[in-house]
Copies of this chain bind each other. A is one copy, B any other.
Amino acid sequence: METPCIVINEATVRRNIQRMVAGLRAHGIAHRPHFKTHKSVRLAKMQLEMGAAGITCASLGEGETLADGGVTDIFLAYPIIGARKLARLVELSRRTALCTVVNSIEGAEGLNAAFAAAGTRIKVLIELDGGMGRSGITLDNINAFAQAITALPGLELIGVMTYRGNIYQNRGESEYVAETRKEAADLLKAQRQLQEIGIQVDVISSGSSFSSKFPQHLQGLTEARAGTYIYNDVSQLSTGMIQVEDCALTVLATVVTCPDKNHAVIDAGSKTLSSDLAKHGPGYGYILEHPNATIEKLSEEHGYLRLPDGTQLNVGDTLHIIPNHVCAVVNLADTYWAFDGQAHTEHPVDARGKSR
């Protein structure tokens, strides 16, 4: 394998999926994993075979890639805006069991116009504000918003979803649990409020790989959309809730120069590792072979390592690096190598770069 490249351990991937599905199932919650992390149809199908109830994706292009690959139970968790994209969405809905999200009146009206004109309907979930100021309807406004949605003939309101990404800003298990409980409580409150005004929603969909680690606190929700958990990364690791052996993806890199005894330069820079920082902790990745070395800086094709005294690296050495943020790293690579314990096989990152 020439470097820099992505290598995944299939056994770890399978163990991560198995644990996630089983953990959620024990609390009556379906797993609808997010495609944005791996962007691989092969892995989406593995998730489905291992018990996932459908796939979540972040863009039309990801949804089309899934459909082209034969995956047809899709939740597109992004508001689709604009005539050309809406036409693609209508097309996609004709060949899949598709559901999407609404979080603004303008967006909902656009969807409605496109689907009503096509003589069909689209299932939608209302996005509930996840406390990130990013998007979503607040509990104060959700009743009026839901009433407006149900008045639109092209939309079929079936649920409520949220993404509470701020959980990653917290520290320590008690804070994580508190945030997870808040996520579940808000979603269930939204469901109750809507029920009180005569609107029944059956899908209650929660967010992150992180809250999914506490399924006992998600009781009452119907599905969880964890994505990153399939590979894990330094951001997950830095919370202390997973271990190095739970990380299924590494970047393989080669030492290209050793400027002095405390420094080495590798061929993985920001065009491979991305410039994403970990939520907690310094540097641009965790080096399996040298956990005490730091990737202290990146340029596009160079990673700058600071080595502790006594760590010797040589030009040509290869290193396995757990990246800070796997989703960003996968989206930079055309392919990944899967190691099944015996051999490495190269697979395409099918939806790489499909951000629209």
Chain A residues in the interface with B (C-beta under 8 A):
2-5, 36, 58-59, 78-79, 81-82, 84-85, 103-104, 106-107, 110, 129, 133-136, 165, 254-259, 263, 265, 267-272, 274-277, 299-302, 304, 314-316, 327-328, 331-334, 352-353, 355-356
Contacts and interface: CB of A to CB of B under 8 A. Distances in A.
9 contacts: A58-B300, A58-B301, A81-B315, A107-B256, A107-B257, A110-B316, A267-B356, A271-B355, A332-B332
Q: How many copies does the complex hold?
A: 2
Contact of A316 (B4, B58, B82): B82
Contact of A82 (B3, B36, B136, B334): B3
Contacts of A103: 257
Q: SS class of chain A's interface: helix, strand, loop or mixed?
A: loop
Contacts of A275: 274-277, 328
Nearest to A349: B353
Given A78-B256, A275-B275, A275-B328, 17 more contacts: A2-B356, A79-B257, A81-B256, A81-B316, A82-B254, A106-B315, A107-B315, A133-B259, A133-B263, A134-B257, A134-B299, A135-B259, A136-B257, A165-B299, A274-B274, A301-B355, A332-B332
A333 B134 CA distance: 24
B300 A259 contact: no
Given A275-B328, A356-B2, A135 B302 contact: yes
Counting chain B CB atoms within 10 Å of each CB, the highest count among A107, A133, A355 belongs to: A355
Nearest to A268: B355
A134 B297 CA distance: 10
A194 to B, nearest CB: 20
Nearest to A269: B355
Nearest to A332: B353
Contacts of A274: 270, 274-275
B78 A257 contact: no
B104 A134 contact: no
Contact of A355 (B4, B256, B331): B4
A188 B192 CA distance: 76
Name which of A4, A256, A333 has the most chain B CB atoms within 10 A of its CB: A256
A79 B256 contact: yes
A136 B259 CA distance: 7
Nearest to A260: B133
A335 B59 CA distance: 17
Contact of A257 (B3, B104, B334): B104
Contacts of A304: 133-134
A315 B109 CA distance: 11
A4 B81 CA distance: 12
Contacts of A4: 355-356
Nearest to A255: B81
Contacts of A5: 356
A179 B104 CA distance: 51
A265 B135 contact: yes
A333 B354 CA distance: 9
Contact of A327 (B85, B263, B300, B314): B300
A23 to B, nearest CB: 24
A336 to B, nearest CB: 12
A328 B271 contact: yes
A134 B259 contact: yes
Nearest to A84: B2
